[in-house]
A and B are shown apart, each in its own frame.
Chain A
Amino acid sequence: MSTNEPILSVRDIRVEFKIKKRNALPWQQPEILRAVKGVSFDLAEGETLGIVGESGCGKSTLARAIIRMIPSQGGQVVWQGRDLIKMNAKDLLAVRKEIQMIFQDPLASLNPRLTAGQIIAEPLKTHYPNTSRDEVKKQVRELMEKVELSARMINRYPHEFSGGQCQRIGIARALITNPKLIICDEPVSALDVSVQAQVVNLLMDLQKELGLSLLFIAHDLSVVKHISNRIMVLEFGNIAEIGEAHDVIHNPQSPYTKELINAVPIPDPIAERQRNAERRALAANA
């Protein structure tokens, strides 16, 4: 991890959604749901920041607001010294090749009518339209090898791949523009534990090799702890806690983090039964 300027700094970002009530009269103001209520953090080069929290706490909304997939209602997102929020469309497109995203559902995030090769090549064709066909093919093959997919599978369609393989295609697609930051939105929560371990290892290896920064969103604290340098815990759109991964897990400061950690089951029958008994006793007293 480098100690230089942060590659990304987010300052007081807010995201609001207007919710129109049923049977509302035309002049009535819509209700406002504040999904992200002023979140600030820095991300260093080559660092992994894990973002955890329950569903509805704003983790995915925050990620989407950072790369302007959805509009935000205030705050700054400074990417290498420039504010993404105020950027015009042309500059934004240029920045987007440096920030890529991996999604939760491995099959749904791939176009079923394109082959694996076409899917991986798409960002390249968008951002570097003048690349020659042979060059595109060469890069796609290299990337497939890098994410441990056989280059022979280049002409297969997404439904012919398993969940873990689809997620590898998603990773290859994110890597083809040589990004500096990858936002991973629950990349392993749809996978079996054995496949999950492979994909997590792959992401960690690639990060080391390419010096990537990662924003790793997940609800599984054990995976987040394993992959992250620092962890940010979100609660109803606010930061409940942010700190070094080891400290947050072993010495949580906020009651919300403690509750989350207590709820994660540990695959050890004797220890887990003791924890369960303690938790139930606590719940009975409360």
Chain B
Amino acid sequence: MALLDIQNLRITYDTPDGVVEAVRNVNLQIDKGETLAIVGESGSGKSQTAFATMGLLPHNAQVSGSIKYQGQEIIGRSHEEMNKLRSNEIAMIFQDPMTSLNPYLRISDQMSETLIYNSPDGKRMKKKDAIAECVRMLEAVKIPNAKNRIHLFPHEFSGGMRQRVMIAMSLLCRPKLLIADEPTTALDVTVQARIMDLLVELQEEFNMATVLITHNLGIVAGSCERTVVMYNGDVMEQGSTIDIFGKPGHPYTQGLLSAVPRLDRDEERLITLDRSFETQLAEV
């Protein structure tokens, strides 16, 4: 059985200009311990799919289809049930490490919250124990001098450090599935490389499945086994990363791959995405 099984997912919004289909018909599965990449341009519905899995869609979203986590339906669950799932089973890292931490709270306070209210063994953890556990986790994500740093505020950390704090926070309850939504987009390339190395290492250590949402095809090539290509709310193709990058089947994937300037090649002119496949899609 797949760890996460999404079938016929459709997310729509009623707007004054009519119904907007953010996600049309998404089918995908993730197995235990697997790394899956979801790639696509902005507006392709990749984050919407992730938000639906986390139960974080806004109230006016209309969802149909099914998202099963370990065989259990997620769509339609109550807030309390989702909270339980979010703390112990599925965790998420967001794109912007600057805005996803609460600026008013010390790292120690916002990190330990998760453990105090949702400790893995079901009991309420003492604050002191929770903070000790947080320090251990900060050390696992290689924050030097974590014992003292934990009492600082988010603005006293650099971007890369804040993203490490976010990762540490999401791993506190040992999730089985980690959804990383553009975790390195706001960071420098050198920091990005270090964060990706860290994620790969932690994934092996904790035996998590990871969904990596990104538009950076280079990162996908380096660390994901399978790739899902999304466009305009639809899955264009999915398969092993080596196959998709080696022999892209869909014209959209081919276009995306050839639009990226590459450091290891000299091209005269960048190939822009040929949008003619859109008319083909409309005809089908």
Binding site for B on A (CB under 8 A): 54-55, 163, 192-198, 200-201, 204, 219-223, 225-226, 246, 249, 259-273, 275-276, 279-280, 283
Minimum C-beta distance from A238 to chain B (A): 17
Of the candidates A193, A249, A267, A275, the one whose C-beta lies within 8 Å of that of B245 is: A267
Q: Does B159 contact A (CB under 8 A)?
A: yes
State the Cβ distance, A245 to closest chain B Cβ, in Å. Answer: 9
For the complex, what is the distance from the CA of A132 to the CA of B144, rounded to whole Å? Answer: 63
Interchain nearest-CB distance for A50 vs B (Å): 12
Q: B197 near A267 (CB under 8 angstroms)?
A: no
- Say whether A222 contacts B270, CB under 8 Å: no
Q: A197-B259, A225-B263, A246-B266 are in contact. Are A267 and B220 (CB under 8 A)?
A: yes
10 extra interface residue pairs, beta carbon distance < 8 Å, beyond A246-B266, A271-B264, A273-B222: A193-B215, A197-B259, A197-B271, A220-B189, A263-B192, A263-B193, A267-B220, A268-B264, A273-B221, A275-B222
CB-CB under 8 A from A249, the residues of chain B are 263
- Which of A54, A194, A270, A279 meets B272, CB within 8 Å? A194
Chain A contacts of B215 at CB under 8 A? 192-193
For A266, the chain B residues whose CB sits under 8 A away are 218, 221, 262-264
**B5, chain A: closest CB distance, angstroms:** 25
Q: Nearest residue in B to A273 (C-beta to C-beta)?
A: B222
Is the CB of B260 closer than 8 A to any CB of chain A?
yes
Please state if A267 and B263 are interface contacts (CB–CB under 8 Å). no
How many Å lie between the Cα of A84 and that of B141 in the bound state? 48
Query: Please, what's the 1-or-0 string for B183-197, where 1 marks a CB less than 8 Å from any CB in chain A?
Result: 000001111110001
Interface residues of B (CB under 8 A from A): 41-42, 159, 188-193, 197, 215-223, 241-242, 245-246, 255-257, 259-264, 266-267, 269-273
Q: How far is the CA of A111 from the CA of B193 in the complex (A)?
A: 36
Q: Are A219 and B218 in contact (CB under 8 A)?
A: no
Select which of A201, A222, A260 is within 8 A of B190 by beta carbon.
A260
Are B272 and A198 in contact, with the CB atoms below 8 A?
yes
Q: Chain A interface secondary structure, helix, strand, loop or mixed?
A: helix
Which residues from A are CB-within-8-Å of B270? 197, 200-201, 226
Instruction: Indicate whether A225 sits within 8 Å of B261 (C-beta atoms), given known contacts A192-B42, A194-B255, A267-B220.
Output: yes
Given A194-B273, A219-B188, decide whether A226 and B261 contact each other with a Cβ distance below 8 A.
yes
Cβ-neighbour of A196 out of B191, B218, B259, B266 (below 8 A): B259
Establish whether residues A193 and B242, one from each chain, have CB atoms under 8 Å apart when the complex forms: no
In Å, the complex CA distance between A18 and B147 comes to: 31
A219 to B217, CA, bound (A): 17
Residue contact B263 to A261, C-beta cutoff 8 Å? yes
Collect the chain A residues with CB atoms within 8 Å of residue B273's CB: 194, 197
Between A and B, 7 residue pairs with Cβ closer than 8 Å are: A54-B188, A54-B189, A200-B261, A201-B269, A223-B261, A265-B222, A271-B221
Residues on B with beta carbons closer than 8 Å to the beta carbon of A269: 221-222, 241-242, 245-246
Contacts of B267 in A (CB 8 A): 226
Among candidates A201, A223, A261, A272, residue contacting B218 with C-beta atoms closer than 8 Å = A272
Does B263 lie within 8 Å of A193, measured CB to CB? no
In the complex the two chains form, what is the Cα distance from A160 to B113 in whole Å? 41
